[in-house]
Amino acid sequence: MAESDADPAAAAGDDISADDWAAALAEQETSASPDVQPAAFAQLKNESAGAPPGNLDMILDIPVTITVELGRTKIQIRNLLQLAQGSVIELDGMAGEPMTVLVNGCLIAQGEVVVVNEKFGIRLTDIITPEERLRRLNR
- Every domain of the chain and the residues it spans: 64-137
Residue 25 has a pLDDT of 65
Tens of pLDDT along 97-128? 888 899 888 889 999 888 888 888 889 999 99
**Confidence (pTM):** 0.52
Q: Give the residue with greater pLDDT, 35 vs 134.
A: 134
| DSSP letter (8 states) at residue 7 | -
Beta-bridge partner residues of 103: 66, 106
pLDDT of res. 75: 92
What's the fold here for domain 64-137?
Surface presentation of antigens (SPOA) (2.30.330)
